[in-house]
Chain A
Amino acid sequence: MDRDNIEFLISQYLDEQLPAKEQERVARLVVEDPSAREIFAAYRALDTVLKSAPVPSVNFDRLNAAITSRIDEIDAEPASYGTLIRPLPVRQLAIAAGVLLAVGVGVVAWMQSGQRGGSVESSALITPVVGSISVSGPTVASVSTGASIQVSIGPSPSALTANAWHPAEEVVTRQPRVVIASGLEDLSEVRHPLAY
């Protein structure tokens, strides 16, 4: 066994990390072999030095005050911050709006095509596709004051007034739910949740 292996065994022996039989074998070696004993003594002395060497002192009063101050900031935070409401940049909100619009239009088109297939008894419910909506962007530009973007899905106010728009029952019967995206120039300050 070369010296490196012996040293490795002695290191593990010192840490009591060897199997019992191996531990006994190295113990005998340390007793009987002067060079092994020297290595063992050196490693043990080294451990003592490492554990006893001081580290620089610091002003613990100030450190304690700094820690306390940071913790005070946590306690002062609203409970919902960071958990219920997460900041989202305007660009992500716009993408989410676009996806939802596309899905909504697709669902409407699919329902209407199913109705045209004869599965609906009342022809009054069959409504033609009168238009499609596509949204791209919006392009986010730097602004010096607050800015907002609002996108809605649903009938226009005039169509509602004329009672000329009848959504299928299975589709959207709720209030328009997308999308409010607003923020300041600093996107990290946008903290409005999606409204659904």
Chain B
Amino acid sequence: MGKKMVLTGNYAVAYAAKLAHVDIVAAYPITPQTTIVEKIAELIEKGEMDATMIRVESEHSALAATFGAAVAGARVLTATSSHGLMYMHEWLHWFSRARIPGVMAIVTRTLAPPWNIWSDHTDFYGQRDTGWLLAFAMDNQEVLDTVIQAFKISEDPRVYLPVLIGLDAFILSHTSMPVELPDEDRVVEWLGPRRQGYVIDGREPLALGNLAWPEDTEELFMDLEKAMEESYNVIKEVDREYGELFGRSYGGLIQCVHCSDAKYLAVSTGAWSGDLIEAVNMLREEGYPVGVLRVRFYRPFPHRDIWEYARGVKGVIVYDRAISFGAWGPLYTDTVAGLYNYTTKLPIISNVIAGVGGVNVPHEDFYRLTKEFIDTIEKGEEPPRIKWYHRR
């Protein structure tokens, strides 16, 4: 049993970085990520954490400096939100295409104008195609555990891709919860030395990123995709090992609650999955055969695991805390496409978009929306495919 502390989600990120013996942190403050950077600075200056902090002048430089440190052999972590993430977006592509390990925490916050500091998942989903592994936590304990696991996954030679962990603004980042910290020595021993596929430190003349002709380029990206697919197994393996060593695991890429005999599934990701689980517990008590499928890793998309639980169901309702304007929710899109890999006879899949801009969606709303979905199908009718649920 490790040490128990009462930590906000942001502090959980900072302590995870400490436990993992991160070498270099280059970050720029932005609400609501700021306390991650502040806590790390405090831990370093107090001597509790042996790392170097680069107080960069922008988020673009933050990921650039993080990349430079990583390429030169350092274990790295950075963090940002919202427009900071938008500003550094080109660097996410650079990082993964260079096949260099690294970890980043994203405190998910919506985009402007108007200025808005509260949570939705738009900034997170915007990184969908970057080639990063994308994870999303539901509570602060999971934040800490997943950040530590991220180093193990990222530095695995079967992967060598950077990992992003999302946590909801204020709901997790600034809310205190009891978090158990695993023993630092055991974490460091489990993580082992930092591994990467190459290093640029003058030991031999090596150039990263010279111009490549189209055929070479496509082959490079195809190897990236193969590594992404391989990471599916690595994520499960790491989560299992973590459970054996430290007593907690999360089900790999997805967490399923009440799924084994479910006829209906509610899919979501992020902190509000907790409220969804509460709603589904209430529905279960009333006899509704419904389960929650929480997506823990959005990339690689867990289509195999979702198919395992969705194959016999009559309906799937996907809750998205973001919308791709002109289409529908990102999680819905991938769920439908993912299931289509396995069958052309899909169950009824509905998309409810809610909580965008940080609107609070309490468990009563999840209860009502999910109940309505199930009742409609049971009656033999079709629920609307896409619904943007808004409340004041």
Query: Is the A/B pair a real complex?
Result: no
Interface residues in chain A, defined as those with a beta carbon under 8 Å from any beta carbon in chain B = none
Q: B residues within 8 Å of A by Cβ?
A: none
